[in-house]
Amino acid sequence: MNFRIPVPLILVLGLFLIISTVGKIYFNSKHELRLAEESISKNNPADAMTHYVRSIQWFVPGLNLQDRAAQGLWKVALNYEAETDSENALNAYRLLRGAFYSVRSFYTPGKSWVLRCNEKIAVLMAQQPATSESEKSKTYEERLSANWKLLNDEKPPRPFWAMLAVCGFFGWIGSALFFIMNAMTKSGEIRSRPALIWSFSFIVFYGLWILGLFKT
């Protein structure tokens, strides 16, 4: 006898899976933020930067954790700048900028932070000693302008790949649920044909999800 899971139960399972995924992302972000703040209290800004970046990358829209992490990383960069450690300050601003770019999809989150980092990076790069003859021939203002233009020449997000990632994500979740619903009997036996279909579907959608994440 075939075992059919009621549709409401499938919806509940799907909702639970989504909520648990969002919850995991949220608590991982919060955990990384706490580790960053502990590193700051121990006067270890290098480790703090790593954890701040990870906190931002565990991104969920609408939460304030990413903004708190950005503020912490920004403060680290300002402290390096106050100590005239331009190399580490530049690295910190780049990490903050890159963290938000790494989680963009249909839009770029933290755009105000990106713009603030662009300004700082442009100035610090212009202040560095010129390393080529062409750079030596330029004034500080010319190098600053060139850096600013390069940093703000933003490549837009890739909606197609972002949509592919979203479809792939829900696709492999749905495939797993339909495998349970159609490929398993009440006695725990596996029905070969549905199992093959939904296993193949799971692999395809999981692959599309990974591909979309890499291409976005």
Q: pLDDT per residue over 43-65, tens digit each?
A: 999 999 999 999 999 987 777 78
pLDDT (0 to 100) of residue 133 = 76
pLDDT, mean of residues 164-179: 85
Long-range contacts (CB closer than 8 Å, 24 or more residues apart) made by 106-112: 106/157, 106/159, 106/162, 107/157, 108/154, 108/157, 109/59, 109/61, 109/66, 110/56, 110/66, 110/67, 110/70
Q: SS3 letters for 65-81? A: HHHHHHHHHHHHHHHHH
Condensed to tens digits (0 to 9), the pLDDT of residues 182-216 reads: 777 777 678 888 889 989 999 999 999 888 877 76
Condensed to tens digits (0 to 9), the pLDDT of residues 87-96 reads: 999 999 999 9
Q: Domain 23-154 belongs to what topology?
A: 1.25.40
Q: Which residues pair with 190 in a beta bridge?
A: 184
Spatial distance between the Cα atoms of 160 and 166, rounded to a whole number of angstroms: 10
Enumerate the domain spans of the chain.
23-154, 161-215
Asked whether the predicted pLDDT for residue 2 surpasses 50, the reply is: no
Asked whether the predicted pLDDT for residue 1 surpasses 60, the reply is: no
pLDDT, mean of residues 129-148: 82
pLDDT, mean of residues 13-22: 77
Q: Which of 34-43, 55-64, 167-176 has the highest mean pLDDT?
A: 34-43
**Lowest-confidence pick of 6-15, 90-99, 160-169, 199-208:** 6-15
pLDDT, mean of residues 155-162: 73
Which residue did the predictor score with more confidence, 158 or 103?
Answer: 103
Asked whether the predicted pLDDT for residue 157 surpasses 70, the reply is: no
Q: Indicate the average pLDDT of the chain.
A: 86
Asked whether the predicted pLDDT for residue 41 surpasses 90, the reply is: yes
